[in-house]
Each structure stands twice: as structure tokens, then as C-alpha cells.
Amino acid sequence: MTEKLDLDHLRGWIGKTTEASDIVTAHLVMGLRATLFQEIGEPKNGNPAPWTTHWCLAQPVFPMSQLSQDGHPTRGGFLPPVPLPRRMWAGGELQFFDALRVGDEARRTSRISDVTVKTGSTGVLCFVAVEHEITTPRGTAIRERHDIVYRDISGAAPTTPAKAPPPPPPAKHRESHMADPVLLFRYSALTFNGHRIHYDRDYVTKVEGYPGLVFHGPLQAAFIVELAAKLHGGTPPKKLTYRGVQPLFEGSEFSVNANDNADGMELWTANSAGQPTMKGTATW
């Protein structure tokens, strides 16, 4: 049974900050390019990195003794100790000002900006919003709001809705790839993400109740950002707002899609049936 959720206590974390720094290396850039199905090349100092390289930098490192059953660190510390066991990347907002480049020292300043509770179809949901600013010696490169959602594990895992889904939306621009377990493993390694739902099939199916390994939220967002930039001559959106709408699982084709609109682009990832799994809106 889940511990009682004390919202007033959790909101005491609002305003809490932390900082971390890391170096953008050529090896990291090569690994992320490979994972995003880009040309790997031989990056040199000063060459631009993929637009979401910051998600691979300065990730917290905890001893094995401080990890929970799901592979995440035990609750508390910088993030509030939300007493709901299932944690997911819900979405967020990205603002791009400058590319991270090989050789850059990138510094991330993070702040808890909000903690809210809602009730959804699967029960109580707790959302934690974290604001990040990533800077280099040239100034601000990225501003971000990262939305984390926590939910109980007692109900059925959110998979395919019971009612018949609407027809898949048509896309003017589309790229497709395989959601391969090795792809998920590589991204977990690049981001030092120990969350077992991405690589431990026994855990994710028998404990959390999902039908297979879960595709990372930030990896879907990374594909969305890269497609948006590719379609605009290599320039990323000034702002991208995105949110997960349903899980994407391993073992089948997925697609990255885009349509132009009056202000920019609507983008989304989709499963093999063409149903959106993450949606984003980009403006330049």
C-alpha cells in the first residue's frame, strides 16, 4: 500500500536548487549521434552536438546501496520524496539559444518550480516541475522545464485505451525506425539512467505490468527536436512544448512525424499502429 501523499510537505521542496557541470566530449557526441540514427562522423572540438545532448551530461551518480527496486535513487534529496512508486517523464518545454559544442564545459542550474496533484483515470498523479538552465562559456544555451509524473502501481499500467483509437493522423514529414532493445539500452547508458523499465523485461512486465520495455520519454523528445531542426535547415525551434500521451514499447516500428502550421510545426512520435505516443508544438 502506498504511503499517504502529503502535498503541503512536498511543496516545501519548491525553490530548492542544485548545480552540476560536465564536459561535452567527442565520444559522447558520437554515441548520441549513433543512437539518433545520425551520421556518426569524427567530431572535433567546436563541432555542434545533437540538440538534446544536455540530457546526457552531469547525471547524478549514487551508490548501488541507495537505489530503489526500480533502479532510481531512493526518494528525497533534490527531488521531493513523492510516495508514489511509478515515475515517468511526462513532458516539458525546451528553449534553444545556442548549440552545445565538443569541448564545452556545460553547467546546469536546476530549480524545483512546482508540485501539484491531480486525479486521472489510473488514480492519483503527482507532477513535479523542474526548471533547468544550461550554460556554456558563451552564455545560455538551453532553458528547460521538465515535468515528472508519479503514480501508484496498484492499478493496471496505462497501455492501449480500451475504446477504439481514432484514425492515425496524416503526416507531411515522416521518418521511421525500429524500437529495438539495444536502442533503449544505449540511451540508458548515455544518460546513466538505471530505471529498469527500459532494459529489464522481467521487472517491467511482472512488477510494473507493462507489456514490454518502455521507450524513454526524452529519447522520443530528442527525435522530435532533431526532425524539427532538420526540416528548418539545421535550426532548432526557439521553443518546443511536448508531452507524452501514451507509452511507446520496444519490438516494433515507431515513427517521428511533423506537419507545418501557421506558427511553426506540430510534431509527434507514433507507435507501429500510427497512434501518437508523444506530441510537440514547435515555434521559431
Residue 48 per-residue DSSP state? B
pLDDT recorded at residue 1: 41
Select from 159, 157, 133, 136 the least CA-distant residue to 145.
133
Q: Which domains does the chain have, with CATH numbers?
A: 7-283 (3.10.129.10)
User: Which pLDDT tens digit goes with each residue over 117-141?
Assistant: 998 777 899 999 999 999 999 999 9
Helix or strand holding residue 29 (H, E)? helix 26-35
Taking each helix axis from N to C terminus, what angle separates 217-231 and 181-190, rounded to the nearest 10 degrees?
90
Give the Cβ contact number of residue 42 at 10 Å. 8
Cα–Cα distance, 251 to 37 (Å, whole number): 17
- C-alpha radius of gyration, the chain, whole number: 18
Residues in Cβ contact with 72 at an 8 Å cutoff, skipping those fewer than 6 apart: 87, 194, 195
User: Which pLDDT tens digit goes with each residue over 41-99?
Assistant: 999 999 999 999 999 999 999 999 999 999 999 888 899 999 998 899 999 999 999 99
pTM as predicted: 0.94
Cα–Cα distance, 204 to 195 (Å, whole number): 10
Cα–Cα distance, 140 to 78 (Å, whole number): 23
Cα–Cα distance, 140 to 132 (Å, whole number): 11
Cα–Cα distance, 200 to 48 (Å, whole number): 33
Residue type for 108, please? Answer: R
Start-to-end C-alpha separation, the chain: 47
Taking each helix axis from N to C terminus, what angle separates 26-35 and 181-190, rounded to the nearest 10 degrees?
150
User: Which pLDDT tens digit goes with each residue over 9-20?
Assistant: 999 999 999 999
User: Which pLDDT tens digit goes with each residue over 266-277?
Assistant: 999 999 999 999
User: Which pLDDT tens digit goes with each residue over 206-244?
Assistant: 999 999 999 999 999 999 999 999 999 999 999 999 999
pLDDT recorded at residue 211: 97
Cα–Cα distance, 200 to 283 (Å, whole number): 37
pLDDT recorded at residue 153: 74
Residue 215 per-residue DSSP state? P
pLDDT of 165 strictly over 80: yes
Residue type for 278, please? Answer: M
pLDDT recorded at residue 231: 98
pLDDT of 191 strictly over 90: yes
Could you give the percent of the chain with pLDDT greater than 70?
96
Long-range contacts of 11-14 (CB under 8 A, 24+ apart): 11/80, 11/115, 12/80, 13/79, 13/80, 13/112, 13/115, 13/128, 14/112, 14/113, 14/114, 14/115
pLDDT recorded at residue 109: 98
Select from 164, 171, 128, 156 the least CA-distant residue to 247.
156
The residue assigned the cell 500500500 is: 1
pLDDT of 151 strictly over 70: yes
Dig out the grid coordinates for 230 from the structure.
Answer: 532538420
pLDDT of 156 strictly over 50: no
